[in-house]
Each structure stands twice: as C-alpha cells, then as structure tokens.
Homo-oligomer: A and B are copies of this chain.
Amino acid sequence: MPKKPTIPTLDDVAKAAGVSTATVSRCLNSPDVVVKATKDRVLKEVARLGYTPNFGARAMVARRTFTIGAIIPTMENAIFARGLQAFQEQLHERGYTLLVSSSSYRPEIEEEQLRSLVARGADGILLIGYARDASIYDYLASRNMPVLVAWAYEADNPLPSIGFDNRASMRALGELVWDHGHRRIGVISGVTQGNDRAQRRVEGLMDAFLAKGLPAENLKVIEVPYGIKEGGEAFARLMAADVPPTVVMCGNDVLAAGAVQRARLMKIRIPEGVSITGFDDIELARIVSPALTTVHVPHRKMGRASANALIDMVESGISGPFAPLESKIKIRGSLGRLSGP
C-alpha cells in the first residue's frame, strides 16, 4: 500500500512514538519542557507521517486562530493592492495569516463578509474607511473583536485607524491648483455614497475653493463609479460644457488616467488645453503622459503599519492613539499654470 489517504492525527503520532498525545503536543508547542531524546523520537515520527496539526481543533481550544481578516472594496486595482500586499507581508512576518474578502463596494456584501470573518474566528479585522452602519460596529464591539480602520484618518473619530487625512490632503491639492491660477474647476469624484474617502476628498476641494471665494457655479462635480472608462466618459462630459473647466481634478488616479486617455482621444493637450490631477500616486500616475500631478499616499507604509497596529491590538489590547500618516503632493506635468485673467 503505497499511500494512506488518511490524515494523521496527534494520536497517530503519539502511538507511533510510544508516548502520550500530551507529550506530542508539548513537543510542538513548548519544546523546551520535553527531554531531548523523547523530542527527537516524536519529531521524527511527525516528519515521517507528515503530520500537520488540525487547525480547527487547535483554534477551538486555543481560542486564537492567528488569522487576521480584511475586507477591501476590490483587489482588482492598484489602489488597495499595494497596501494589501504590504499588510499581508507584515502579517506573515509576525506569524499571522490573512483572510481577505472583497465587498465590491457593496455594504450588504461587506456585512456578510464581516460575519463570515468573525465566524471563522479572525483574531482581528481590517476595514477600509469609516463609513458603515453603527449596528456593525456594535456587533463587532459585542464580540470584542479588534477592528482597525485603514486608508482614512479622522482626528475626531474614536475608532482606531491607520491612514491619512483625505480631506486635508485634497484641500492642499486644491489650494495648489488655485495657486496655479485655475478658477474653473471640474471634479470627477468616485461614488461618495458609503465611501467616506471619496466624500472627504470632495469636501476637501470645497474647503479649498470656497474658502478662496470661488463662485459655486465654477466648481462642477461629477460622480462616477471606479474605472478608467468611467473617468474618460466623465471627462468628456465636463469638457462638453459651454465654458469648460481649465482643470479636471479626479478623486483617484484611475479616474485621472481615464481622463488623460480621453483627452488624447479628443485631441486636447495636457496641460495646455486642460490640466488634470489625480490622487493616490499609484504606478499609473507616472505611466500616463504627461505624468499626473497627484497626492502621494504611502501605501506600503500604511499596510505595514496597519498590520502591526492590528496585531498589537489583538495581542495586548492596546489600540493607539495612532498618528495620521503623511500624504504628499507630487507635482508633475499634468498640471499647468494659468497666466493672468
């Protein structure tokens, strides 16, 4: 019989090594309390049988799974991909495994995924952004589940979070645009419903321009779903106005890339014909031509910091206060300066 398709258990190893299951367990979990000769014998059998402890059983008694859950809107694009990768690397570094789901930006799906993560005994959970039903936070709190919000940071929100201030960052970019002389602003925002990051970014622009005294009608906001194509279409719509904007500010780089692409199609030169800005500074931002003026977000740093913060919360219960991460404006070719009136 060349193969036995039965998965070996602790008991099998114990029998094979002629010891009790307790000893085998100890060899694996606290090797220093068992004498070398025994340990060697046991470990040899472990190797020979190809024994791997049963996760479920272990989780049940240890009441720990060393699993961290994360629910992200989508893994399909670079916005979360890089941060998520860093998050998982750091998790792995510290002995945890990542359980991911994507919600496709749909709250009901997010809630379902959340329950699934809880049921699976995730030791902690990473969520993107603040915006969700209070009942969800109640549920999490009632289960004593450590939760960390990432990709956003609001000083006055008590939830532990690792991220940056979307509103202030976008406001700063808005001011830069203003200083470049732009007075007719088009905005392509991601869907703000249920997405506080998108929401805050738009607010940041309002802050910037209205404080400067820009008439409201000079600020036109279009809201579209995430995507290159969507960005392009929104751009076309904005530019079709009687008095088109001199700058189109996009809620993220993907939308901006779509705008740039569409501009090329429409034979509108950037930045002479129109300026375009993005947000996030993903690779795309440097690939398009001209490169995007955008807000650089430290994705990898955010991912790593999130992992550490969450594990700390899980292991020692301490959660913050965390400082916001710094974002930074990257000025590149897609933003032009407007000479006098």
| A residues at B contact (CB < 8 Å) | 3-5, 7, 50, 52-60, 65, 67, 74-78, 81-82, 84-85, 88-89, 92, 97-102, 104, 109, 113, 115-116, 118-121, 139, 141-144, 228, 257, 261, 264, 283-284, 286-289
Contacts and interface: CB of A to CB of B under 8 A. Distances in A.
A7 B65 CA distance: 15
A5 B3 CA distance: 47
Contact of A50 (B4, B142, B264, B284): B142
A120 B82 CA distance: 25
How many copies of this chain does the complex contain?
2
B76 A102 contact: no
Interface centre among A4, A60, A75 (most CB of B within 10 A): A75
B287 A119 contact: no
A284 to B, nearest CB: 6
A54 B119 CA distance: 6
A287 B3 CA distance: 52
Contacts of A58: 56
A5 to B, nearest CB: 5
A93 to B, nearest CB: 11
Nearest to A83: B76
Contact of A261 (B3, B7, B139, B287): B287
B101 A88 contact: yes
A144 B6 CA distance: 8
